Amino acid sequence: MFSMDSDPVALRIRPISMAELEEGATLIAHKVDDQMIVLMDPMEDPDDVLRANRSREKSYLFDVAFDFAATQEMVYRATTKGLIEGIISGYNATIFAYGPTGCGKTYTMLGTDHEPGIYVQTLNDLFHAIEETSNDMEYEVSMSYLEIYNEMIRDLLNPSLGYLDLREDAKGFIQVAGITEVSTINAKEIMQLLMKGNKQRTQEPTAANRTSSRSHAVLQVTVRQKSRIKNIMQEVRIGRLFMIDLAGSERASQTQNRGQRMKEGAHINRSLLALGNCINALSDRTGVKYVNYRDSKLTRLLKDSLGGNSRTVMIAHISPASSAFEESRSTLTYAERAKNIRTTVKRNHLNVSYHIAQYTSIIAELHREIHRLQCKIEQQEPRPMRSAIRSIQAEVQLPGNHFERQEMDQLREQLISTFREQMDVREQTGHIPRTLVVQFTVFHHWEQEKTRRAQKWREEQRKESYNKDENEKDSDTGDELSDVPEPREVAAAREHIAILLGEQDKLHKQKAELERRFWDIRQYGQRLEEALPWCISSEEQREVLSLLCKVHELEVENTAIQSSTLLKDNFIHHQERAVRRFERYRSLCHHIIQEQRQIIHGMTTYVAQYRSVFPNLVPSRGVGF
């Protein structure tokens, strides 16, 4: 149903520009390997060849790191491509570019005609995945495109609407009131809309960037998936993709902004400061109870992406130039903190229940159509004598037939009403265990997560308190474990479970009463079915009503099978999650073994060097290096 994962964070270093080289800037940001970035302090002594004084030089670890040699395709495959399958399956995903102005955020997200960015590649792969599964599934794709300019929201697909308001619905979801949502059928159409929106986006030149984005742009793509096989209970999965190009933080002294540009920069910095505060609060391991999303419309829009129901990828950007050292260090610090943010990802789905009355109406229409066709066939057949006899019998038995028809209609209504009530009782009976299963799943998942955090905390404490007394360390462990903060979803689930457990006896009695009522109604329906043939003289009508009863019985059995199938699907889903979790553990163990192997190899090299320096040192018998 859901999983708790940390948000992956990537770091991209753009190439140094000619303007920076002309100003005498040097390279201070370097990619060491696929995950490590080193930022050197340009103010240190250039004659310090041995690098003995490294006070402000720092290395940063990310999920993936790119330098100027990385292509757009490499960045997309390492950060975003893996989200496509989840989006069409009903999960939310967010990709956003973060960093100072002029560091390549818009280039990464939008790209150029020859080097398309994440927008284009993601949408192409999304529609390709939809086409591959379109034989079994139906899809509806829609998009909206907006910008946040000076803390005001503007619809880029329909700018004439003016500034729009943010609203929060009863379920806590943030909505933009009046935003234009356009349905699309292919990637080409959605790219045309994207290009149309980009032409409306606010861009102005500054000293730091000739095409500086003066607003935050948010592209939302919604994918609705449902099976082509119609069913009584049909599941509709809703996946949402958010792709966000943030405006860059800037200094007035660097951009040389005045007037309106300075005002824009102040609003940009204000919203990015609010974003940074949210990142700090969400990544705080002490467990901050409150995260203030309301300081900016940007953070309100990103509420689910940062700490809610979304798989989020952050791509941070920096300049390698020494003139941008402070901006690069600040960006790296925030990006490193963002790695500690954990989101609870749930599948968005709606169960569309079609009431049994609709099927009863369809069956009645089919019976009327069959009767009409039978009458037409009889009219076309040359049997005048039989028709005359039937007409005489109809005239003689008209009053009795009228009375029997009324009684038959009354019994039919009672029968249909009984079946409807039977279906309602079955649905109510199945709702109780489903509610308990959902809440216990949330609670059980949090207990596993809490155990994992406790183990991680013990490992950190063991490293930090290596020289401390063992008893003191054990006594501190019990106190700290109780302070592990609970997510709001887990707290709500715990409260709901407490209420359900408090009413468990009541629910069991209610379930027993519903089951008793269900069987009483079923027996009553059987008695009605047995009584109908005695009240109806027509053999054809008896056959029709018998088929009607059989159809309803099959629908009841079908609903029971569907309920059982849903429970089995839920069990299979949990098993799949367990397999994925064990796979992550296996990968982690493999990584640890590789690191230990490198350490052992390094120690072996060190011992060999040690022996070459001290050739006369002979180890004692039984002891070897």
Binding residues for ATP: 99-106
Exposed e or buried b for every residue in 188-220, given b needs 16+ CB within 10 A?
eebbebbeebbeebbeeebbbbeebbbbbbbbb
Q: DSSP letter string over 410-438? A: HHHHHHHHHHHHHHHHHHHHHHHHHHHHH
Phi and psi torsions of 20, nearest 5°: -70, -40
Q: Which structure tokens are listed for 348?
A: 């968005």
Residues forming a β-bridge with 93: 241, 311
Question: Any idea how long the chain is?
Answer: 625
Do residues 112 and 248 make contact, with C-beta atoms less than 8 angstroms apart? no
Spell out the residues 6+ positions from residue 444 whose beta carbon is closer than 8 angstroms to its own: none
Q: Which structure tokens are listed for 514?
A: 């519903």
Q: Which structure tokens are listed for 64?
A: 């993936």
Do residues 323 and 105 make contact, with C-beta atoms less than 8 angstroms apart? no
Contacts 24+ apart (CB under 8 A), 285-291: 285/340, 286/483, 287/483, 287/484, 287/485, 288/485, 289/485
Exposed e or buried b for every residue in 303-335, given b needs 16+ CB within 10 A?
bbbbbbbbbbbbbbbbbbbbbbbebbbebbbbb
Residues that constitute the known binding site: 99-106
Kindly report the CA angle at 352 between 348 and 353, in degrees rounded to 5?
A: 145
Parallel, antiparallel, or unpaired: how do β-strands 174-176 and 182-184 relate?
unpaired
- CA 84 from chain center: how many Å? 11
Rounded Cα–Cα distance for residues 32 and 192 (Å): 40
The position carrying tokens 């009607």 is: 548
Residues forming a β-bridge with 204: 212
Phi and psi torsions of 177, nearest 5°: -70, 125
